[in-house]
Amino acid sequence: MTLHPVARLAAQRIALGLLLLFAASVLIFLGTQILPGDVAQAILGRSATQQSLATLREQLGLNEPALTRYFSWLAGVLHGDLGIALSNGQPIAPALAKRLGNTLFLAGAAAVIAVPLAILLGLISVRYLNRWPDRLISAVTLATISVPEFLLGYIVIFFLAVQYQFLPSLSTVYDGMSFGARLHAIGLPVIVLVLAVLGHMMRMTRAAILNVMQSAYVETAELKGLRPFAIIAKHALPNAVAPVVNVVMLNLAYLVVGVVVVEVVFVYPGMGQYLVDHVAKRDVPVVQACGLVFAAVYIGLNLVADIVSILANPRLRHPR
């Protein structure tokens, strides 16, 4: 039995993705090895003495050759064991799972608002092309995209938390918090993230639809006397899906892997802060684990984008 071409392509891409993951883990490991200092020095900090450094290195197994350490880590991962953080002796998997959950929660909340809003604004922009709604949307989204996120963060803290106490300035979430309380806590970072990713997706939607609007079938629809918004939403948008999905995936990846600054400003316990802390401590197993998750998210989202593009395009769906 032969596989459907799309399934075969997906299988190929998944295999390739796994290979990429492996390569990424090697690259990340190399990165941690070239960083100056090691975890022993980082743990002891200013109170390090030669004696205590040597003892700690021995305890943590840092005197093993780099290759041995990499492969013992890899063997662990293949058995589903992410190991133990060198810096505080806590098992990595549960801590990482919690952080990843938080990150996905924040990214998800931002995406649920940003994606439909960006597409809607894109549609409105095309509908009123070069008229004031288009220009207004363009200018505002460009402005929000251009303000550094940390500043955007401080501005919303100032107005919405300190001046009017509308939402909390701290977004710390923890076990035992209800879903509603969590949503309330992440209000401000969601606002900042939505503003940060909205512009890019909206501009992409607008550009992609404009591209399609010149096609013959859109002209036909126009000649049939359909209402402009119906033409855009029902005829142009479905044919602009591939580029829109691509940019949406890029931004989703950004929401997952790129928000460390927002986490710092709002004290949100996500993956980014967790990774940066452990890079600073040279805690290689944790950095490896985080890197693996980030790479997997990126590769996975790309895979989804590719497959959706293929499914959306009949010519790609049925290759010659």
Partner 1 sequence: MNDDLAKLLAFVDKGGLGRRAFLGRTAAFGLTAALGTTLLPQGLKAQEAKKGGVVKLGLQGGESTDTLDPGLANAPAKNNVVRQWGDTIVEVAPDKALVPRLAESFEGSADSVTWTFRIRKGVKFHDGSEMTPEDVAATYRRHSDENSKSGAFGIMEGIKEITVDGDNVVITLKSGNSDLPYLLADYHLQIQPKGGMDNPDAGIGTGPYKLVSFEPGLRYVFERFADHWDPARGHYDGVEVLVINDTTARTAALQSGQVHAINRVDPKVAKLLSRAPGVQVKSIPGPGHYVFIMQVDKPPFDNKELRLALKYAINRQEMVDKILDGFGTVGNDFPINASYPLFDESLPQREFSLEKAAEHYKASGHDGSPIELYVAEGAFPGAVDAAALFQASAQQAGIPLEVMRVPDDGYWADVWNVKPFCASYWSGRPVQDQMYSVPYLSNAEWNDTRFRNQEFDDLIIAARAELDEAKRKEMYSQAAMILREEGGVIVPMFNDSVDAISEGIAGWIDDPQMELMNGFLTQKTWFA
Partner 2 sequence: MMRLPVSALIGLCLTTAYFAAALLAPLIAPFGVAEIVGQSWEPASAQFWLGTDSIGRDLLSRMIWGGRTTIFVAAAATALSFGLGSVLGFFAAVRGGWVDQVLSRLVDLLMSIPSLISALVVLSVVPVTIPVLILVMGILDSTRVFRLARAVAVDIAVMDYVEAVRLRGEKQGWIIFREILPNALSPLVAEMGLRFIFAVLFISTLSFLGLGVQPPMADWGGIVKENKEGIVYGIPAALVPALAIATLAISVNLVADWVLDRTTSLKGGRNAR
Residues in contact with partner 2 by the rule CB under 8 A: 16, 20-21, 23-24, 27-28, 31-32, 34-36, 135, 138-139, 142-143, 145-151, 154-155, 157-158, 162, 196-197, 200, 203-204, 207-208, 210-211, 214, 243, 247, 250-251, 253-254, 257-258, 260-261, 275-276, 279, 291, 294-295, 298-299, 302
Residue closer to partner 2, measured from CB, 77 or 183: 77
Of residues 223 through 282, those in contact with partner 1 by CB under 8 A are 264-267, 269, 273-274, 277-281
Nearest partner of 303 among 28, 3, 14, judged by Cα? 14
Which one of residues 14, 35, 97, 181 is an interface residue with partner 1 (CB under 8 A)? 35
How many Å apart are CA 192 and CA 156, to the nearest integer?
8
55 binds partner 1 (CB under 8 A): yes
How many Å apart are CA 135 and CA 284, to the nearest integer?
49
Cβ(244)–Cβ(119) below 8 Å: yes
3-state helix, strand, coil in the chain (%, to 5): 80, 0, 20
How many Å apart are CA 27 and CA 74, to the nearest integer?
13
Question: Which among partner 2, partner 1, none contacts residue 210 (Cβ within 5 to 8 A by kind)?
Answer: partner 2
Residue closer to partner 2, measured from CB, 38 or 149: 149
Please state the closest distance from residue 143 (CB atom) to partner 2, in A. Answer: 5
Residue closer to partner 2, measured from CB, 59 or 313: 313
Q: Is 192 exposed, middle or buried (0-12, 13-18, 19+ CB in 10 A)?
A: buried
Question: Which among partner 1, partner 2, none contacts residue 11 (Cβ within 5 to 8 A by kind)?
Answer: none
Which residues on neighbouring strands pair with residue 77, listed in sequence order?
Answer: none
- The helix/strand/coil state of 171 is coil
Length of the chain measured in residues: 320
Q: For the chain, count helices (H), then strands (E).
A: 17, 0
Place of tokens 């809003």: 117
Please state the closest distance from residue 125 (CB atom) to partner 1, in A. Answer: 35
Which one of residues 21, 24, 28, 43 is an interface residue with partner 1 (CB under 8 A)? 43
Cβ(19)–Cβ(27) below 8 Å: no
Binding site for partner 1 (CB under 8 A): 35-37, 41-49, 51-52, 55-56, 85, 87-90, 95, 98, 154, 157-158, 161-162, 165, 168-170, 172, 174-175, 264-267, 269, 273-274, 277-281, 283
